[in-house]
């Protein structure tokens, strides 16, 4: 099946790139082709599964596609007037535009600076870690923009969009109408975004260059440290790999005291720290730094907590995920509340 533009339809669309996930997998030859496999932990089922194919995870059928004809039908059903010619225009829209952009640009040339970081780590002797500049100036903006896209494109981010619209709307109704409508009725009210509408809102944010650039600028202002893991424990990654922790009371990407972590390989992670709170770390900017085992566990815990459903590991060290889930069984609920809304 082909588009009229001659492009093949991509059914299984990844919201974490396979090129990235392969860094946490082992290549196995099959019919002259590499199959990449890793171990996963399923939060919902609370179980580990070994030797899983990377292609089958952090993806969903038609994840980015928007059915424009269906949107028009829904609008008509709601009494919205559709201008002449709009329906004909929808036939010309490439509904897989985002998937194609990610496949041809984001997951190819935009990931190249990370490959360069891995190569530099491999070639740098341990006694030279604090003496070399890891990322050249010309690559920093590309890395920051890649991270901004990755932050926005995941299933976890989409779930936050849904909850902001559904729970936020309900909260506003409850507060605005509490003196006019029975409270029990307001509590029982269910507000649900249609799936196609969710896709559209998510797409709008993924093509919002001002939004993505604002996130990238936040990342660029932080202190970049490249954490080297030479312990027996490996870095996890997940279906929501860019995680953060607020060491002060606020949890925003640019909040004072925030620390943002993006594992690059099981042995290497980019750590971004807010400059005011972490002033002592300024001399470590853009350097390789050894980190101890307790920090590896801390970063891995964040992957478990902030992932949508799956944690990934190149090794068999997923016991930490199971132990954390036993302490916090609420994390198994993929529909759990992402926000505190009173």
**Residues 121 and 268 sit within 8 Å (Cβ to Cβ):** yes
pTM above 0.85, yes or no: yes
CB 139 within 8 A of CB 110: no
Contact 233, 189 (CB under 8 A): no
Residue 2, pLDDT score? 37
Rounded Cα distance between 321 and 60, Å, is 23
Cα distance from N-terminal residue to C-terminal residue, the chain: 49
Interacting residues of 268 by C-beta distance below 8 A, sequence separation 6+: 117, 118, 121, 226, 227, 228, 229, 235
List Cβ neighbours of 75 (8 Å cut-off, separation of 6 or more): 82
Across the 342 residues of the chain, what is the mean pLDDT of every consecutive 10-residue run? 55 94 93 92 95 96 76 55 50 68 87 97 96 96 97 95 78 61 63 81 92 98 98 96 92 94 98 97 97 96 97 91 92 84 43
Q: What is the model's pLDDT at position 342?
A: 44
pLDDT tens digit string along 59-107?
A: 999 898 876 556 555 545 565 554 554 455 445 556 677 888 888 888 8
33-42/59-61 β-pairing: unpaired
CB 222 within 8 A of CB 148: no
């Amino acid at each position: 099946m082909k588009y009229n533009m001659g492009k093949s339809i991509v059914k299984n669309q990844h919201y974490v790139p396979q090129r990235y996930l392969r860094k946490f997998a082992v290549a196995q030859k099959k019919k002259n082709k590499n199959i990449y496999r890793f171990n996963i932990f399923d939060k919902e089922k609370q179980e580990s599964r070994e030797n899983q194919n990377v292609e089958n995870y952090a993806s969903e059928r038609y994840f980015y596609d928007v059915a424009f004809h269906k949107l028009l039908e829904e609008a008509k059903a709601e009494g919205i007037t559709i201008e002449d010619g709009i329906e004909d225009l929808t036939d010309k829209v490439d509904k897989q535009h985002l998937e194609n952009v990610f496949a041809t640009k984001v997951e190819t040339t935009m990931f190249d600076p990370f490959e360069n970081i891995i190569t530099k780590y491999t070639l740098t002797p341990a006694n030279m870690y604090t003496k070399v500049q890891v990322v050249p100036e010309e690559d920093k903006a590309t890395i920051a923009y890649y991270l901004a896209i990755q932050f926005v494109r995941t299933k976890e981010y989409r779930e936050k969009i849904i909850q902001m619209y559904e729970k936020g709307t309900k909260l506003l109704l409850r507060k605005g109408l509490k003196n006019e409508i029975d409270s029990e009725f307001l509590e029982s009210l269910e507000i649900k975004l249609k799936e196609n509408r969710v896709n559209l809102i998510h797409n709008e944010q993924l093509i919002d260059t001002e939004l993505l650039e604002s996130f990238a600028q936040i990342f660029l202002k932080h202190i970049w440290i490249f954490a080297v893991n030479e312990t027996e424990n490996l870095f996890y990654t997940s279906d929501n790999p860019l995680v953060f922790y607020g060491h002060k009371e606020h949890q925003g990407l640019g909040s004072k005291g925030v620390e943002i972590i993006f594992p690059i390989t099981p042995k290497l992670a980019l750590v971004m720290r807010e400059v005011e709170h972490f002033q002592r770390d300024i001399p470590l900017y853009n350097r390789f730094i050894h980190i101890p085992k307790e920090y590896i566990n801390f970063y891995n815990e964040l992957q478990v907590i902030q992932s949508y459903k799956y944690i990934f590991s190149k090794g068999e060290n997923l016991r930490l995920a199971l132990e954390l889930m036993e302490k916090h069984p609420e994390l198994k609920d993929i529909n759990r509340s992402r926000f505190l809304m009173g």
